[in-house]
Amino acid sequence: MTTTVLRTDFERSVAAYWNTNQQDPVNLRLGEVDDLYHHHYGVGPYDPTVLEGPADTRDQRIIAELHRLESAQADLLLDHLGPLGGDDLVLDGGSGRGGTSIMANQRFGCEVDGVSISEYQVGFANDQAARRGVGDRVRFHFRNMLDTQLPPGSRQAVWTNETTMYVDLGDLYREFTRVLRFGGRYVCITGCANDVTGLRSKSVSKINEHYTCDIHPRSAYFTALADNGLVPINVVDLTAATIPYWQLRTMSPVATGIEEAFLTAYQEGSFHYLLIAADRI
């Protein structure tokens, strides 16, 4: 069956961004630390001693530390996804270069299908799985997460690691509730705008412009989850926990220029870094 993966001009422009943004040192140099390539941010305090010591190895110490915080973020997401076993099938919605999917398979032994609208990312992630010898258990597909082509009720768990700002949440959770079995778990880590401070702030608008995304207000998540039979069991505000990552990134050789917007948005309270875990009923 042939389906159209990229359905709108917006989706085509997002795919073009991720297909052509291939030499991004902020993601490749971190990934090279241990061959886990992430497209999300970090949580937890950084070790300040990385800023001390010999100047010629300082950059590499900072890069390794940023990578450790990003992997800690993925580990935290997986803490909320389990328990899972080797017989379980899971979905990574917007799988990037595959880091979180590889970690899920390593931790649980589960089978993972990741979908991305970037053909470049799908190719990169499948190469990573093959190099690790798990290509039969961790598979990446050039597909749209709004239309995954996966069988109904086939998934014990689904996650989105900083990808929901690219889609309509109602469309997304309709698809996730279709592929999740009853009692299955959905985990989302996202940045969302604060309804309480009003409409989108300047710093949130800068982040949207930088990534060609559309950050949703916090309220939109809970409305769309409830509308689609996904019932939150945990909501964790990770805003304070992600600020050190952005502070260290500002001092790193791989800063991209978006760091100040994230720090301002989090510190002024117009933006939150949130984990939501929900059960499908």
Q: Indicate which of ligand GPP, Mg ion, none lies near residue 162 (CB less than 5 to 8 Å, by partner kind).
A: ligand GPP
Kind plus residue range of the DSSP H or E element containing 231: strand 230-237
CB of 168 to Mg ion, least distance (A): 24
CB of 26 to Mg ion, least distance (A): 5
Reference 40, options 218, 263, 273; nearest CA is 273
Residue nearer to ligand GPP on the CB measure, 73 or 105: 73
| Beta-bridge mates of residue 147 | 144
| 20 near ligand GPP, rule: CB under 6 A | no
**Residues in contact with 52: Cβ distance below 8 Å, sequence separation at least 6, in sequence order:** none
| 26 near ligand GPP, rule: CB under 6 A | yes
Reference 70, options 42, 39, 106; nearest CA is 42
| 207 near ligand GPP, rule: CB under 6 A | yes
Residue nearer to ligand GPP on the CB measure, 84 or 167: 167
| 150 near ligand GPP, rule: CB under 6 A | no
| 165 near ligand GPP, rule: CB under 6 A | yes
Residue nearer to ligand GPP on the CB measure, 213 or 277: 213
**Residues in contact with 140: Cβ distance below 8 Å, sequence separation at least 6, in sequence order:** 95, 98, 101, 113, 114, 115, 116, 121, 122, 125, 126, 129
Reference 72, options 137, 161, 155; nearest CA is 161
Strands (E), 45-152: 89-93, 111-116, 138-142
| Beta-bridge mates of residue 235 | 276
Reference 239, options 215, 212, 264, 257; nearest CA is 264
Pattern of binders to ligand GPP over 110-149, x per CB under 6 A? ----------------------------------------
| 17 near ligand GPP, rule: CB under 6 A | no
**Residues in contact with 6: Cβ distance below 8 Å, sequence separation at least 6, in sequence order:** 12, 15, 117, 144
| 213 near ligand GPP, rule: CB under 6 A | yes
Q: Indicate which of ligand GPP, Mg ion, none lies near residue 215 (CB less than 5 to 8 Å, by partner kind).
A: ligand GPP
Using CB under 5 A, list all residues that contact Mg ion. 27
Residue nearer to ligand GPP on the CB measure, 78 or 207: 207
Residue ranges in contact with ligand GPP by CB under 6 A: 24, 26-27, 39-40, 162, 165, 191, 207, 211, 213, 215, 256, 258
